[in-house]
Structure 1
Amino acid sequence: MSTTATHRRTLNPPAVAGFAALAIVLPHVPSFFHRLLDGDEAIYGSIAALMNMGGPLYAEGGVDNKPPGIFWVYAATFRVFGTYQMTAIHAVALLAVIATAFLIFLAGRQVGSTRAGVLAAIFYGVVTAAGNPRLLAANTEVFMMLPLTASVLLMLQRRWVWSGLLLAAAGALRQSAAIQVLLLPFALAYLEPRETRLRGPRGGSDSCRPTASSRPGWSRR
């Protein structure tokens, strides 16, 4: 038995999880030192403040070409933490990035290995903050990716109804999420057995749900 094989078997899951968390969080820390990171944040914040004062969205509450989801996120955050509390907005955005990275880990583990999932999650956390300070902004893309990634994960598990609902939720945050609709027929044809393919869009069966035996473990990857 080789030393490499022994090392892989003794890989410490908490240590790996801690390293991944640091690699994801640290690049986003600078967002807490700047009140506004992008002009879009000012627009979303202004409209959210008007909404919380009773103005209806796309009318007296402000007009913009974005779907309503981003304004709901800002308005809800302002209601809890105070109007124009951008530190809270950036914290919510970071939580969305962390949650998305975790879902990416789950998807990567399902289609590849635990190592693939960890690397994919770290890569997402780093590239969403690297290269341009504006990437740190609490923009529509950051919040859209959470339900969109969850939709892909459920698609891989053949839970079609929930995948579709989360895809719709992603579309409420950013229009470009609609492109994933094109994946649905291909995923249905590729993932769903022929005999159940016509039933797939109505929800899928319990047999499609991952079991403990089908999940790659830390000790094997």
Structure 2
Amino acid sequence: MSNEPSDRRRGPLTRSGGGSAVALPLAPTSLGELAARAREALRTGYWARLVPLLGALAVVTRLPSFARPFWSPDEGFLASQARMLAGGGVLYDTVVDRKPPLLPWLYESAFWLFGSSSLWPLRVLAIGAHLGTAVLLAAIARQRWGNRAGGAAGVLYLLVSIGLSPEDSQAATFEVFMLPATAAAFWYAQNRRWAQAGAATAVAALTKQTGGAVLFAVLWMVRRESRRYGGERPRTSLPALAFGFGLPVLVIALSTGVRNFVFWVITGSSDYASLDGAWLTMLERAFGNAAILASAALGLLVPLARRWRRVREDADLWVWLGASGMGVITGFHFFGHYYLQLVPPLVLLGVGAVARGAANWRPVLLYTALAGTVFVGLGFAWPHQPLQHSVSVATDVAEETAPKETVLVWGMNPEVYWLSGRTPATRYLTAGLLTNFAGGREPNSVGVKQAVPGSWKVFDSEMDRRLPVLIVDESGNAPYAPRYIQPLRALLAAHYTRIGSDGTAVFYRLRTDRPAPR
């Protein structure tokens, strides 16, 4: 480790800064003295210089996110879900998903404050999440390897974290908002503040389940701490960690209903996270996204490879990286945005290697800056076809229906609900919840029997209560097309007439001469 000081207090009368520990002066005796000290801190302080730089870089690297109304179906799902919640929906009851509740609630809050017609507030919050992650990584690196390494860690994180396809790196989705909590958990554990580490881990897991992977690194640090006490674990470490983690989870579970929370966040995803998939597609996606990220992080991977035999120097970071890798693998879908959780530990490991002499800072920073520039440009040049299709379909939906009429979009593009301003006819915003479909899934793993348990019974009751005026079938030749899904096929035959199409989307209108609902 470097001899440069950390941010932690070394004693009751000392503090660390850019050089050796110095005595703390007496407390200010007047507001004028306090203001003078604040001005001096802004002029000379490490963080006062670094944070604005990181803030500016966070904005520049995320400018492409503002270039289009949405980037991915996940954003569309969250936006549609938040609008339903704002309209009186109840999470895990009349509004459902396989994800924890924190991000849907954040979307709902943003819509309540700024309106639901645009995702720009979420883009701003995503920039804040990336900035918070960068600052925390800088704090971790500074404690370990000094001031220069701290600044480099923050800068390199912001550059490497855009090193995926823009729809994965520029979207305001689950991985983005769980990263600050994972970094905070590691920072707290590094400073032996176990209750706070547990609470931060809980926040990460309550944003997305795989955010809890950092718990493995935290537990490893608890174990390391026990060895410092001659094999006797400090009596308060594990209880404090368990309390910090368990309390937020318990509060959230009670607020949403324990049974519903456990089902939708934990047990209801068992079929989704399975080995039944198109392995060639999954492997292509796994290695393709890994290669894209590696191209962005190559400046760090090269010095890291030179020191790979000295794993024990940063064993806690390697545990974090390995646990994050397990998070990427979970579910065997390998979507690009899953890889974002690898970036914080990977950046810290690379920074540690450079700080210990495996490479010079200049080529590492220059290469990563060049790669980041390419990915920013790619964000502005990314093809608009999926966006244009969803906007076109949403426009047709809005023209064919009245504002208070309900719609069913049978497909994997829930953004149509949000873009059209129409209310979903069901709590299941994608066909995936009713068929277990996901990208790369084998046809024999998709169908009514593979749906979320009990979902078709609920769906039938929703249709009995109120049939949608319009059904939009976006399945095309997918294995969840109506010809493969008997309940939907029967619903269309009994109550709907085909009225047209828009590309791959087929529109069905409710017949006025239909039989009475079942």
Identity of aligned residues (%): 26
C-alpha RMSD of the superposition:
2.3
Q: 1:77 aligns with which of 104, 110, 122?
A: 110
Whether the aligned pair in 2 keeps the contact of 1:67 and 1:174 (CA below 8 Å) is yes
Whether the aligned pair in 2 keeps the contact of 1:44 and 1:74 (CA below 8 Å) is yes
Give, in angstroms, the shift of residue 146 of structure 1.
1.1
**Aligned partners of 1:96, 1:16: CA distance in 2, in Å?**
16
**Structure 1 letter corresponding to 2:136:** L
Change (3 A) 1:42 1:183: same
**Structure 1 letter corresponding to 2:82:** A
Match of 2:127 in 1: 94
Match of 1:23 in 2: 57
**Aligned partners of 1:144, 1:34: CA distance in 2, in Å?**
23
Whether the aligned pair in 2 keeps the contact of 1:128 and 1:136 (CA below 8 Å) is no
Q: Secondary structure of the equivalent of 1:57?
A: coil
Asked if 1:115 is matched to 2:148, the reply is yes
Report the structure number with the largest CA radius of gyration: 2
The 5-angstrom pairing of residues 145-160 of structure 1 reads: 145-160=179-194
Asked if 1:37 is matched to 2:74, the reply is no
Match of 2:177 in 1: 143
| Greater RCO (CA < 8 Å, at least 6 residues apart) | 1
Q: 1:58 aligns with which of 80, 84, 92?
A: 92
Match of 1:178 in 2: 212
Gaps of 5+ in 2: 1-17, 20-43, 242-518
Change (3 A) 1:161 1:18: closer
Match of 1:200 in 2: 237
Q: 1:104 aligns with which of 134, 137, 142?
A: 137
Gaps of 5+ in 1: 1-7, 205-221
Whether the aligned pair in 1 keeps the contact of 2:58 and 2:127 (CA below 8 Å) is no
Give, in angstroms, the shift of residue 40 of structure 1.
0.7
Structure whose residues are more often strand by fraction? 2
Q: Secondary structure of the equivalent of 1:35?
A: coil
Match of 2:225 in 1: 191
Query: CA offsets per residue over residues 34-83 of structure 1, 9 Å max, x none?
Result: 110111100000001100111101222x2221111110110111111111
Match of 1:213 in 2: none
Q: 2:101 aligns with which of 36, 45, 68?
A: 68
Q: Secondary structure of the equivalent of 1:36?
A: coil
Whether the aligned pair in 2 keeps the contact of 1:189 and 1:197 (CA below 8 Å) is no
Structure whose residues are more often helix by fraction? 1
Give, in angstroms, the shift of residue 189 of structure 1.
2.1
Q: Secondary structure of the equivalent of 2:62?
A: helix
Give, in angstroms, the shift of residue 128 of structure 1.
2.0
**Structure 2 letter corresponding to 1:197:** P
Number of residue pairs matched?
195
